[in-house]
């Protein structure tokens, strides 16, 4: 008997002795990986209600850095992994799909998927739906308007100015899978496949001492941008939402010489050898995809719900584009290509950027 | 030396002691104050509004209590293993007839100088290779090897005073070597064994680097639960946690003082180097 | 054949533990470090290569090794400097309450969670903390990225100082107060007696305290992880990134083996140097 079976057995005995009079089905124990900060704050109560309603047990594990880290961490362990659902986004979905870890999802088992437009799903070669899309989110440059005085930022070229010395908060390359470099590359005429101009821009920023802090996850970004010594950041909409709730911020979603990035976040159902547990994981993921929960989940994250019957938060209007604006201001890079570059970009960052930030 | 220098030097030494004590204590006091801060983020000191919300957050999260019990189990198991193995090794190394004593001693102390990250990472790869996947077993193995030098060293230090002649006297009276060790050497080493075991427990309980590699989502020690929660979700719960730790430590120190006497304990622990 | 001494049998469990829990893992690590890394795949490539080590010769990685070492040296020196008067007072203060209080503080810190202490340091010494103005005395503004270095050093010092102090408590206890009395009877002042009699005798303990502190610093990685603001990178952090973030095990293994060699060279090499100097 392994630990998990033991826990399940203990839970079952506890349920039978102290539980309600009606028969509780023996619940499944699910391990669900989620991001920290508001993500886990909104998910914990949803999970608790679910546990009371179904008897399944939800154990949350938190992403320590970006979601991509989980792929690196689980790869050597596969297929002996315990995770049943992993919250992730486009490049991570691509990496896990390529590794063959994900279970296809089907509206026959998960009816709420019928209310999500087809375009949001990632599909495998056989055309099966592979992801449970929950949000449309983005990554943007932005700044705290209470801290940046003088000319407002209209182009990220301005970030080279001396007034931003030590003021920039940027993600480590593994986080957001390198979107920072892509954004900087676009500014200088490149893109994710022509990344060199981005590195040059980044080197200039680091050499001038303008990069004040390198953060590894949402929670660090939110604390760093709340402390008051940093004023500009490149980050996802969830982190920005938390900062915007505390301080006046402006997101640079409509830059004339650069683009914002859009992507989908959601759940990946992991393959495994226990069909009952996979079914339980699908039921839980389906619960998140239903309109009321999808609305509730996206509200504090400042992201757009994917279920057509959900409500979007009023505050996120400026983040989303009309169909005409979309090609002008937004860009959807080749996320699966970026996923393959994370190792090389991380090592280049260590070799070229960190020493510059230290010396500046 | 000039006599007039005496007073300034003494004052300087006193000031040094005071500064060092403040250096060690003030951060803990700051954390204590911030744990009652009502703001939802780490803002400028001191707080203006007060609340107990972070303590509620701490109590509501089962990860900390689960981690605490896991840490206790791992520390007890690994501490016991390291104490037994370390005591036997120290008894062997203290025997002047053992060939290559210095080499053995250096070998047993060597895990202390292997960076714990290296131990954790390599043990993870190694245990997977030999088919050990249970995280609890992995954690106990990892903690045993990192605490072994400390138990060995503490026992060895307490054996320094042991006269070989006492052992030989026992043996000349007909005791086997094992019997003589058990009757003469082990009692002589008792204080070292106790100090080593205490040291092993404390080190294991607070271990981070090895555990980070060897634990998994269901088997997390308290420090790992803290790192995981705080890295993903940094907020002032950590101040509440620090304060709880501070209170628990104070209680423990008082208890230890009653039981063993703090002066003696400090002397034994000082032998860890 | 000569009979093995009984003591040799007692070595068996310890020898097995060393072999299985250190020797085996390090050998596997060494083997792993010689495998080529295939980006995007976790399966190591075929054949053997030294590329993972060659990569580490890039100037940036030598810079990280040096930075780790430099911060470690500063912190170790400071911890001996701070620990010596503290330990002396804890042993020789005429007031029992002072002795007991200091010892309780040291033992208490030793058992108190390092992580809780590191976060307490972030709160107290961080750019918003009440101690930031004192941190600024180093000449590095608390709001600049380089201040992370100061914070990491403070975190490490908080970690090493109580350990070194307790080691010195042991050493000072072993010295008889009679020595100072004798010096005093020859007309030396108390300060003089301490400087000329006690310090030289405690020197070996101070050296070994310094080395233990150094070993603790260069192999620590939780302090740069929590206090380094993503800017202070220790060799340990590089290794962790390969394991946890990018899944590049061969490169992580190469860093591990290099660190191991470096750490042994530093500790045993410095110890040999110190022995020669003290002789």
pLDDT tens for residues A162-202? 999 999 999 998 889 899 999 999 999 999 999 999 999 99
In whole angstroms, give the CA distance from residue B237 to residue B53. Answer: 8
Predicted pLDDT of residue B17: 93
In whole angstroms, give the CA distance from residue C32 to residue A71. Answer: 19
Could you report the per-residue pLDDT of C203-225, keeping only the tens digit for each?
A: 888 998 998 899 889 889 899 99
Q: Closest approach of chain A CAs to the CA of C250, in angstroms?
A: 12
| Nearest residue, CB atoms, A166 vs list C60, C144, C232 | C144
The strand pairing partners of A268, in sequence order, are: A86, A131
| Nearest residue, CB atoms, A63 vs list B216, B229, B232 | B232
Confidence of residue A6 (pLDDT cuts 50, 70, 90): very low
In whole angstroms, give the CA distance from residue C232 to residue B142. Answer: 27
User: Among residues A40, A38, A32, A79, which one has the least CA distance to residue A56?
Assistant: A32
CA distances from A331 to A139, A173, A258, B85, C208 (A): 10, 19, 9, 62, 59
| Nearest residue, CB atoms, B234 vs list A59, A61, A220 | A220
Q: Is C213 in contact with C163 (CB distance < 8 Å)? A: yes
Q: Closest approach of chain A CAs to the CA of B242, in angstroms?
A: 18
Tokens of C240: 């962790």
Mutate to test the interface with B, among A6, A222, A241, A242 (most CBs of B within 10 A): A222
Of the ranges A347-351, B165-169, B258-262, C244-248, the best mean pLDDT one = A347-351
Rg, C-alpha atoms of chain A: 21
Average pLDDT over residues C249-272: 87
Q: What percent of chain A has pLDDT over 70?
A: 93
User: Among residues A44, A301, A223, which one has the least CA distance to residue B234?
Assistant: A223
With a cut of 80, say whether residue C262 has pLDDT above it: yes
With a cut of 60, say whether residue A19 has pLDDT above it: no
Please, which residues 70-129 of chain B have a Cβ atom closer than 8 Å to chain A? 125, 128
Convert C89-101 to b/e letters by CB count within 10 Å (16 or more is b).
bbbbbeeeeebbb
Q: Which helix H or strand E contains A137, and what residues bound it?
A: strand A131-144
| Nearest residue, CB atoms, C244 vs list A72, A78, A95 | A72
Contact check, Cβ <8 Å, C245/A211? no
The answer, for C244 touching chain A at a CB cutoff of 8 Å, is yes
Q: Are strands A168-171 and A232-236 parallel, antiparallel or unpaired?
A: parallel
Contact check, Cβ <8 Å, C60/A357? no
Torsion, Cα C72 C73 C76 C82, to 10 degrees, reads: -120
The answer, for A83 touching chain B at a CB cutoff of 8 Å, is yes
In whole angstroms, give the CA distance from residue B41 to residue A219. Answer: 10
Tokens of B2: 């000039």
- The SS3 of residue A360 is coil
Q: Is the dihedral of CA B161, B166, B170, B176 positive or negative?
A: positive
Predicted pLDDT of residue B269: 62
Could you report the per-residue pLDDT of A204-258, keeping only the tens digit for each?
A: 999 999 999 999 888 889 989 998 889 999 999 999 999 998 999 999 999 999 9
Predicted pLDDT of residue C255: 94
A166 chain-C contacts, CB cut-off 8 A: 143-145
Could you report the per-residue pLDDT of A112-146, keeping only the tens digit for each?
A: 999 999 999 999 999 999 999 999 999 999 999 99
**Chain C adjacent subunits, 3+ CB pairs under 8 A:** A, B
In CATH, what number does A26-136+263-315 get?
3.40.190.10
Q: State the angle between helix axes of C114-125 and C147-174 in degrees (0 to 180), rounded to the nearest 10.
A: 130
In whole angstroms, give the CA distance from residue C218 to residue A215. Answer: 23
The answer, for A211 touching chain C at a CB cutoff of 8 Å, is yes
| CATH number, domain A138-262+325-359, options 1.20.59.10, 1.10.260.40, 3.20.20.70, 3.40.190.10 | 3.40.190.10
Q: CA angle, B164 as apex, B163 and B170 as ends, to 5°?
A: 100
Q: Is C229 left (phi over 0), alpha (psi -120 to 50) or beta?
A: left
Contact check, Cβ <8 Å, A76/C248? no
In whole angstroms, give the CA distance from residue A113 to residue A107. Answer: 5
Convert B150-160 to b/e letters by CB count within 10 Å (16 or more is b).
bbbbbbbbbbe
B44 chain-A contacts, CB cut-off 8 A: 228
Q: Are strands A249-251 and A131-144 parallel, antiparallel or unpaired?
A: antiparallel
Contact check, Cβ <8 Å, C233/A64? no
Could you report the per-residue pLDDT of C148-180, keeping only the tens digit for each?
A: 999 999 999 999 999 999 989 988 888 877 777
| Nearest residue, CB atoms, B92 vs list C10, C117, C256 | C10
Q: What percent of chain C has pLDDT over 90?
A: 41
Residue with the bigger pLDDT between C278 and A268: it is A268
The answer, for B139 touching chain C at a CB cutoff of 8 Å, is no
**Chain B adjacent subunits, 3+ CB pairs under 8 A:** A, C
Name the residue of chain A whose CA is nearest to C37's CA. Answer: A343
Q: Are strands A304-305 and A211-215 parallel, antiparallel or unpaired?
A: unpaired
In whole angstroms, give the CA distance from residue A188 to residue A194. Answer: 10
Contact check, Cβ <8 Å, A351/C61? yes
- What count of residues does chain A have? 360
Contact check, Cβ <8 Å, B233/A226? no
Name the residue of chain C whose CA is nearest to B242's CA. Answer: C116
With a cut of 80, say whether residue C2 has pLDDT above it: no
Name the residue of chain C whose CA is nearest to B264's CA. Answer: C103
Could you report the per-residue pLDDT of C68-120, keeping only the tens digit for each?
A: 999 999 999 999 999 999 999 998 888 889 999 999 999 899 888 888 899 89
Contact check, Cβ <8 Å, C145/A227? no
In whole angstroms, give the CA distance from residue B40 to residue A245. Answer: 11
Residue B96 makes CB contacts below 8 A (sequence gap 6+) with B164
Q: What's the count of helices (H) and strands (E) in chain B, helices before strands? A: 14, 0
Could you report the per-residue pLDDT of C30-55, keeping only the tens digit for each?
A: 999 999 987 656 566 778 889 999 99
Torsion, Cα B83 B89 B94 B96, to 10 degrees, reads: 170
A222 chain-B contacts, CB cut-off 8 A: 41, 234
Q: Are strands A85-89 and A260-269 parallel, antiparallel or unpaired?
A: antiparallel
Name the residue of chain A whose CA is nearest to C60's CA. Answer: A351
Predicted pLDDT of residue A89: 93
In whole angstroms, give the CA distance from residue A97 to residue A47. Answer: 26
- The SS3 of residue A116 is coil
Q: Which helix H or strand E contains A143, and what residues bound it?
A: strand A131-144
Residue with the bigger pLDDT between C200 and B73: it is B73
Residue A343 makes CB contacts below 8 A (sequence gap 6+) with C37, C39, C40, C246, C247, C248
Q: Which helix H or strand E contains A261, and what residues bound it?
A: strand A260-269
In whole angstroms, give the CA distance from residue C162 to residue C16. Answer: 33
Q: Spell out, as residue ranges, where chain B has pLDDT lower than 70.
A: 1-3, 163, 267-273
What is the pTM (predicted TM-score) of this model?
0.87
Name the residue of chain C whose CA is nearest to B177's CA. Answer: C6
- The half-sphere exposure of B172 on its side-chain side, counting CA atoms within 13 A, is 6
Residue with the bigger pLDDT between C255 and A8: it is C255
| Nearest residue, CB atoms, B232 vs list A4, A62, A226 | A62
Domain boundaries of chain A, sorted by first residue: 26-136+263-315, 138-262+325-359
| Nearest residue, CB atoms, A214 vs list C37, C61, C230 | C230
Contact check, Cβ <8 Å, B88/C119? no
Could you report the per-residue pLDDT of A67-118, keeping only the tens digit for each?
A: 888 887 787 778 888 899 999 999 999 889 988 999 999 999 999 999 999 9
C243 chain-B contacts, CB cut-off 8 A: 121, 213
Q: CA angle, A248 as apex, A243 and A254 as ends, to 5°?
A: 90
CB atoms inside a 10 Å sphere around CB A89: 25
The answer, for B256 touching chain C at a CB cutoff of 8 Å, is yes
With a cut of 80, say whether residue A356 has pLDDT above it: yes
* Structural domains of chain B sorted by starting position, each given as residue range(s) with its CATH number in brackets: 49-270 (1.10.3720.10)
In whole angstroms, give the CA distance from residue B86 to residue B92. Answer: 10
Predicted pLDDT of residue A130: 96
B205 chain-C contacts, CB cut-off 8 A: 111
DSSP annotation of A23 reads P
The strand pairing partners of A270, in sequence order, are: A102
- The SS3 of residue A15 is helix
Q: What percent of chain C has pLDDT over 70?
A: 96
The strand pairing partners of A250, in sequence order, are: A143
A229 chain-C contacts, CB cut-off 8 A: 127-128, 142-143
The answer, for B45 touching chain A at a CB cutoff of 8 Å, is no
In whole angstroms, give the CA distance from residue A342 to residue C252. Answer: 15
């Amino acid at each position: 008997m392994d630990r998990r079976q033991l826990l399940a057995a203990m839970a079952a005995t506890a349920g039978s002795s102290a539980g309600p009079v009606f028969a509780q089905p023996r619940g499944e124990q699910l391990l669900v990986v989620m991001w920290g900060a508001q993500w886990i704050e909104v998910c914990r109560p949803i999970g608790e209600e679910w546990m009371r309603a179904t008897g399944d047990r939800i154990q949350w594990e938190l992403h320590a850095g970006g979601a991509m880290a989980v792929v690196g961490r689980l790869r050597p362990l596969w297929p002996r992994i315990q995770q049943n659902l992993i919250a992730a986004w486009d490049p991570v979905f691509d990496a896990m799909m390529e590794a063959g870890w994900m279970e296809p999802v089907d509206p026959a088992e998960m009816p709420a998927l019928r209310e999500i437009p087809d375009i949001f799903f990632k599909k495998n070669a056989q055309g099966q739906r592979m992801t449970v899309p929950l949000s449309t989110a983005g990554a943007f440059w932005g700044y705290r308007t209470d801290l940046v005085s003088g000319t407002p930022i209209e182009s990220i070229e301005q970030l080279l100015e001396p007034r931003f010395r030590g003021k920039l908060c940027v993600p480590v390359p593994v986080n957001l899978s390198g979107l920072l470099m892509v954004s900087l590359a676009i500014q200088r005429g490149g893109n994710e496949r022509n990344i060199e101009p981005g590195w040059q821009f980044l080197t200039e920023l680091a050499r001038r001492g303008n990069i004040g802090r390198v953060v590894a996850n949402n929670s660090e970004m939110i604390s760093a941008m709340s402390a008051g010594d940093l004023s500009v950041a490149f980050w996802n909409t969830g982190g920005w939402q938390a900062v915007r709730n505390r301080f006046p911020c402006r997101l640079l979603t409509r830059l004339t010489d650069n683009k914002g990035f859009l992507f989908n976040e959601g759940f990946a159902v992991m393959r495994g050898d226990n069909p009952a547990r996979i079914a339980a994981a699908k039921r839980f993921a389906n619960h998140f995809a239903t309109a009321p929960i999808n609305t509730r989940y996206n509200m504090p994250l400042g992201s757009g719900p994917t279920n057509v019957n959900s409500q979007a938060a009023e505050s996120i209007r400026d983040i989303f584009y009309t169909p005409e604006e979309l090609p002008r201001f937004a860009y959807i890079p080749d996320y699966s290509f970026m996923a393959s570059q994370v190792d090389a970009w991380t090592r280049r960052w260590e070799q070229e950027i960190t020493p510059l930030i230290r010396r500046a | 030396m000039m006599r007039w220098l005496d007073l300034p030097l003494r004052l300087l030494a006193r000031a040094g002691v005071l500064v060092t004590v403040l250096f060690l204590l003030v951060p803990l006091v700051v954390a204590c104050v911030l744990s009652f801060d009502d703001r939802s983020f780490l803002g400028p000191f001191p707080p203006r509004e007060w609340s107990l919300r972070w303590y509620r957050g701490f109590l509501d999260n089962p990860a900390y209590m689960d981690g605490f019990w896991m840490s206790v189990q791992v520390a007890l198991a690994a501490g016991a293993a390291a104490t037994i193995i370390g005591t036997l090794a120290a008894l062997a190394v203290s025997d002047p007839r053992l060939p290559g004593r210095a080499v053995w001693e250096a070998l047993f102390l060597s895990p202390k100088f292997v960076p714990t990250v290296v131990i954790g990472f390599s043990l993870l790869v190694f245990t997977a290779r030999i088919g050990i996947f249970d995280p609890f077993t992995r954690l106990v193995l990892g903690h045993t090897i990192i605490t072994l030098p400390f138990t060995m060293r503490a026992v060895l230090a307490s054996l320094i005073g042991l006269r070989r002649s006492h052992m030989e006297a026992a043996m000349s009276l007909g005791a086997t070597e094992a019997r003589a060790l058990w009757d003469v050497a082990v009692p002589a080493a008792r204080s070292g064994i106790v100090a080593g075991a205490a040291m092993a427990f404390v080190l294991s309980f607070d271990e981070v680097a090895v555990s980070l590699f060897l634990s998994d989502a269901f088997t997390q020690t308290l420090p790992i639960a803290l790192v995981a929660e705080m890295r993903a979700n940094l907020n002032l719960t950590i101040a509440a946690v620090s304060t709880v730790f501070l209170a628990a430590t104070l209680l423990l120190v008082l208890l230890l003082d009653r039981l063993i006497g703090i002066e003696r304990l400090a002397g034994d622990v000082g032998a860890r180097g | 054949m000569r009979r093995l001494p009984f003591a040799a049998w007692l070595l068996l469990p310890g020898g097995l533990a060393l072999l299985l829990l250190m020797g085996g893992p390090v050998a596997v690590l060494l083997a792993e470090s010689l495998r080529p890394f295939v980006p995007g795949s976790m399966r190591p490539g075929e054949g053997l290569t030294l590329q993972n080590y060659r990569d580490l010769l890039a100037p940036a990685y030598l810079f990280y090794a040096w930075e780790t070492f430099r911060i470690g040296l500063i912190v170790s020196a400071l911890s001996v400097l701070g620990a010596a008067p503290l330990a002396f007072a804890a042993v020789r203060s005429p007031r029992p309450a002072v002795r007991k209080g200091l010892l309780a503080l040291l033992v208490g810190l030793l058992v108190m969670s390092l992580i809780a202490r590191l976060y307490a340091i972030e709160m107290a010494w961080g750019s918003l903390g009440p101690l930031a103005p004192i941190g600024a005395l180093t000449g590095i503004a608390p709001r600049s990225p380089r201040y992370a270095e100061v914070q990491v050093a403070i975190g490490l010092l908080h970690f090493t100082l109580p350990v070194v102090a307790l080691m010195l408590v042991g050493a000072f206890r072993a010295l008889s107060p009679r020595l100072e009395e004798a010096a005093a009877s020859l007309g030396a002042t108390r300060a003089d007696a301490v400087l000329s009699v006690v310090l030289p005798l405690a020197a070996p303990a101070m050296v070994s305290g310094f080395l233990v502190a150094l070993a603790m610093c260069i192999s620590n990685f939780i302090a740069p992880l929590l206090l380094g603001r993503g800017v202070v990178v220790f060799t340990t952090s590089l290794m962790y990134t390969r394991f946890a973030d990018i899944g590049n095990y061969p490169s992580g293994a190469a860093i591990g083996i290099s660190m191991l060699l470096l750490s042994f060279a530093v500790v045993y090499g410095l110890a040999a140097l110190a022995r020669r100097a003290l002789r």
